[in-house]
A and B are shown apart, each in its own frame.
Chain A
């Protein structure tokens, strides 16, 4: 082995070692020095690559995962899940025919559903990408190009036996909850139920309810509802 071969090998991998490399290293002072320089360079690179990791990164990843569906829904389980879902839908459909209407209003069902999300969302510092929000809407069956950029939480949930998009949005005054429903709402109305103030109204895709656990006027909720819908119209509804 000559100096060129030794240096070429060490430049590609300073940790590489074999009998030929070792023999040359023992015989050649300048290549030993070259190898030391490379090790120092790698030590420096190691220091330069070091970047402080944000506090609670693991907790934020696990928080987001806790809202996600169970894994493995994609591939080989998909067919059987679809079969199982069809059977569940069929059974639920039968029950809905048999059971009398509970009489619970949609706003009652919404306020029963929401609870911990706004509180958990306070720990989230970054907004969700618009694409992720859109994927929740798509999964819910809401056909609307909604460019919402201030969403910190988005999840497909079930209310009144139907899928809804459950969002938590952020503004300077604090977080508020938005429920987008692919089914119609008869008339616009404010509501105050169990400490939640909100407003519900019909949209082109179904309905929207905006509510907050903080003390808010229902006018304020209507204003927020209009603001969300304006972003919908602005994107070509």
Chain B
């Protein structure tokens, strides 16, 4: 039988560690899922509240990051369910970009615009791989997709970003979906 949180030295201490270690990562990920700083913070809050309620289902702290990321993805999907929208139908380019004051160098803005134009199914694995160093297998497990599908999405994401940054039509990003 696995130990429950109340059998552990201190569930609060364990939770505090998770919050301190992963809240920044989750916030950035949530921002790129939602396109809104306010929604991103709400998603992080909801994610940690759910994590707290089900802390005893996290068997190993080594799996914490993937576990929290999966919870956040589900919370985001619920947000769309509540709005009766199809998740895959809403892309960030249609959402208002908030607070673009951070790092406003032209080349960064151009890349950020290109990233926002990528459909979520391409942007999300790219974020997980580039920022967090997840392997193809780990991303495939997280998304419940075949490894080759994830590889194809990453392949296309980079190809299109490269294409756009080389001065081609950013509208071509839409052809990806």
Contacts and interface: CB of A to CB of B under 8 A. Distances in A.
The size bracket of the interface on A is 35 or more
Contact of B161 (A8, A41, A73): A41
* Max count, chain A CB within 10 A of own CB: residue among B52, B55, B151: B52
B52 A11 contact: no
A54 B154 contact: no
A52 B24 CA distance: 9
A70 interface: yes
Nearest to A59: B19
Interface residues of B, number: 55
Interface secondary structure of B, over-half rule:
helix
A74 B51 CA distance: 12
A71 B48 contact: no
A13 B154 contact: yes
Contacts of A38: 158, 162
Nearest to B27: A53
A147 to B, nearest CB: 14
A203 B102 CA distance: 50
A25 B110 CA distance: 30
B19 A53 contact: no
A113 interface: no
Given A44-B111, A47-B111, A53-B27, A70 B41 contact: no
A68 B108 contact: no
Contacts of B131: 46, 49
Nearest to B101: A52
Contacts, number: 132
Contact of B154 (A11, A52, A60): A11
A77 B5 CA distance: 11
Nearest to A68: B52
Interface in A21-60: 37-38, 41-42, 44-54, 57-58, 60
B93 interface: no
B48 A11 contact: no
A57 B5 contact: no
The 6 closest A-B CB pairs, nearest first, are A12-B151, A71-B55, A48-B111, A11-B155, A72-B56, A48-B112
9 contacts: A13-B135, A41-B165, A46-B131, A49-B115, A49-B131, A54-B27, A69-B53, A71-B55, A77-B4
Interface of B: 4-6, 11, 15-16, 19-20, 23-24, 27-28, 31-32, 37-38, 40-42, 44-45, 48-49, 52-57, 82, 102-103, 107-108, 111-112, 115, 126-127, 129-131, 133, 135-136, 150-152, 154-155, 158-159, 161-162, 165
